[in-house]
Amino acid sequence: MAFKISVVSGHASFESLPACKVISYPNPGAREDYRPFAQAQFCVDCRGFSVRMIAFEVKPNAESRIEAKFAIPGRTSALLVLAVVPGGLQEAYVQKPGEQPCPLEGVEVIPVDGEDLQGVYWGYHLILPLPLLEQVFPEFLWISGSRLEGNVFKRCSAPGWEHEGSFFPADFAKTGLFDNLGALELVAY
């Protein structure tokens, strides 16, 4: 079943959007009990494509990373990658097969941190304006009924804190550009 990405006419309200919860941790690291809860929410609104990624870690390691990847189903034209670390936006790029990543300019980055009933969290709200998206995926329509492929990953390579998790189940041994992606669908709600 495809994860739903809301298309709204005004501004995104993250309190009412569905969340991709990173709960699949197939390869326990040095500490099998350390599998931080992370999630992402997506919305197409009046500003563009909003991606909000947060992780529940009280004192996150500097190498702690939340990453989202997006592609158009059935095409291998480009992969959009967005990654944040506690210090800010780590990567925002588009990669085409056989080419080097092309950095994206113009991504708005808004820090998100706080505490709720689930605990203390850190993260970022990224906004990609529609003109930027049209450069990344010129053939894609950012409207209800359109489909993407994607996934959200939570990773850390720091000794003693190693972990790799995802929303859609992933085989982390597969490192191809378009591996480990699941179905996403834009919907009008």
Answer yes or no: is 14 within a domain. Answer: no
Answer yes or no: is 26 within a domain. Answer: no
- Residue 155 belongs to domain with CATH number: 2.60.40.1190
Q: Domain range holding 86?
A: 3-9+33-171
The C-alpha atoms of residue 148 and residue 184 are separated, in whole angstroms, by: 5
Provide the domain count of the chain.
1
The angle at the Cα of 5, spanning 36 to 25, to the nearest 5 degrees, equals: 25
DSSP string, 23-66: -B--S--SSTT----EEEEEEEETTEEEEEEEE--SS--TT-EE
User: Nearest CA to 142 among 188, 104, 180, 92?
Assistant: 188
Per residue in 41-65, pLDDT tens?
Answer: 999 999 999 999 999 998 999 999 9
In this structure, what DSSP letter does residue 106 have? -
Answer yes or no: is 178 within a domain. Answer: no
Confidence of residue 132 (pLDDT cuts 50, 70, 90): very high
Answer yes or no: is 18 within a domain. Answer: no
Answer yes or no: is 187 within a domain. Answer: no
Confidence of residue 118 (pLDDT cuts 50, 70, 90): confident
Mean pLDDT of the chain: 92
Mean pLDDT, rounded, for 94-119: 92
Answer yes or no: is 92 within a domain. Answer: yes
Answer yes or no: is 21 within a domain. Answer: no
Please give the model's pTM, rounded to 2 decimal places.
Answer: 0.93
